[in-house]
């Protein structure tokens, strides 16, 4: 029987089919193998067709649920798979180390890079240790320190965005949360090295853009990127937490919406059924797209890189009154 806990609410029909397939496979013996294999093949075709129908018509709220799926690959998974000889770096040299932000140096396809990312954790213990990916000020000051180091040594920067937002507790405000995020964003604009950001899950509020003021912003197909969470938007605008589906639609937070608006540069296609089903394939595809954009950015001079980044974000703020 398939583990129902990994299926989202709207995936109930898929769960039933995949459970039936597993049930048939577990009780299949040599005498019934021919008949069972035929039935299994038929159910697998139905499952694939149902996955196609479901995942090509996801609503904005359903995309939010997929982006938050616990089994999606996280920053540490991308680092382990894509970065050779990774050397983690810790601390902000002011207060301490915040494990909600991970980062360090390594080799990406033979190219020395600095990689920075939000990390949510995979189980309860690691999620608590990593602060569920919601960084405190020291996390963003660590990210800024790594950016400065990369800039000093001419290392391209790759950032992996996956956070519901910055840490919302009082200690974050006491230690200068807003200033830390603003400084991190500003540091991104002053860099003279290629800078690529990838939204791999959630891209929430200033906590996300702190490490996404990049030359190229990429998004996985079923990731989200917005100024506020649907829950926060629903509570402020409608004063009703149940209005999250309406809020998700109003926010235009999907990769498809943001590509149309020119906020992001490319959508990275996920395997059928989402990154949480095919983690290795998703990471491999992401690495290929990052490498393509990095190769393009490496042809630009330091001055051109800084100007390119500036123009990118200025263009987002321009609109015409009709």
Which stretch of 32-36, 61-65, 135-139 has the lowest confidence by average pLDDT?
32-36
Which stretch of 30-39, 138-147, 312-321 has the lowest confidence by average pLDDT?
30-39
* Residue 118 and residue 158 in contact, taking contact as beta carbons nearer than 8 Å: no
- Structure confidence by residue, pLDDT tens digits, 36-85: 677 777 777 888 888 888 998 999 999 999 999 999 999 999 999 999 99
What is the predicted pLDDT for the residue at 35? 64
CATH architecture of 63-315: Alpha-Beta Complex (3.90)
In whole numbers, what is the pLDDT of the chain averaged over residues?
A: 90
- Structure confidence by residue, pLDDT tens digits, 9-20: 888 888 888 887
- Structure confidence by residue, pLDDT tens digits, 278-314: 999 999 999 999 999 999 999 999 999 999 999 898 8
Domain ranges, ordered by start, for the chain:
9-57, 63-315
What is the predicted pLDDT for the residue at 51? 87
SS (H, E, C) the chain: CCCHHHCCHHHHHHHHHHHHHHHHHHHCCCCCHHHHHHHHHHHHHHHHHHHHHHHCCCCHHHHHHHHCCCCCCCHHHHHHHHEEEEEECCCCCCCCCCCCEEEEEEEECCEEEEEEEECCCCCHHHHHHCHHHCCCHHHHHHHHHHHHHHHHHCCCEEEEEEECCCCCCHHHHHCCHHHHHHHHHHHHHHCCCCEEEEEEEEEEHHHHHCCCCCCEEEEECCCEEECCCHHHHHHHHHCCHHHHHHHHHHHCCEHHHHHHHCCCCEEECCCCCCCCCCHHHHHHHHHHHHHHHHHHHCCCCHHHHHHHHHHHHHHHCCCCCC
């Amino acid at each position: 029987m398939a583990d129902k806990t990994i299926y989202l609410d709207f995936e109930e029909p898929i769960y039933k089919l995949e459970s039936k397939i597993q049930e048939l496979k577990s009780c299949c013996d040599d005498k019934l193998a021919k008949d069972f294999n035929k039935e299994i093949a038929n159910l697998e075709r139905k499952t694939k067709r149902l996955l196609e129908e479901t995942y090509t018509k996801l609503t904005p709220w359903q995309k939010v649920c997929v982006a938050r799926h616990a089994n999606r690959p996280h920053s540490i998974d991308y680092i382990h798979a894509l970065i050779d000889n990774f050397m983690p770096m810790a601390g902000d040299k002011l207060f301490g180390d915040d494990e909600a932000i991970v980062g360090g140096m390594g080799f990406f396809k033979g190219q020395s890079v600095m990689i920075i990312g939000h990390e949510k954790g995979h189980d309860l213990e690691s999620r608590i240790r990593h602060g569920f990916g919601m960084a405190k000020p020291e996390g963003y000051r660590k990210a800024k320190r790594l950016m400065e180091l990369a800039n000093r040594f001419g290392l391209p920067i790759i950032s992996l965005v996956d956070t519901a937002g910055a840490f919302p507790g009082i200690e974050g405000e006491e230690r200068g949360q807003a200033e830390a995020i603003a400084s991190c964003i500003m540091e991104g604009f002053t860099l003279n090295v290629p800078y690529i950001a990838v939204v791999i899950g959630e891209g929430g509020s200033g906590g996300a853009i702190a490490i996404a003021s990049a030359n190229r912003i990429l998004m996985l197909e079923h990731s989200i990127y917005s100024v506020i969470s649907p829950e926060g938007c629903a509570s402020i605008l409608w004063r009703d937490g149940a209005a999250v589906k309406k809020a998700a639609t109003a926010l235009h937070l999907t990769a498809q919406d943001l590509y149309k608006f020119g906020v992001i540069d490319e959508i990275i296609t996920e395997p059928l059924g989402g990154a949480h089903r095919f983690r290795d394939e998703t990471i491999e595809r992401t690495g290929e797209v990052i490498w393509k954009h990095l190769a393009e950015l490496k042809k630009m001079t330091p001055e051109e890189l800084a100007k390119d980044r500036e123009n990118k974000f200025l263009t987002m703020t321009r609109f015409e009154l009709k």
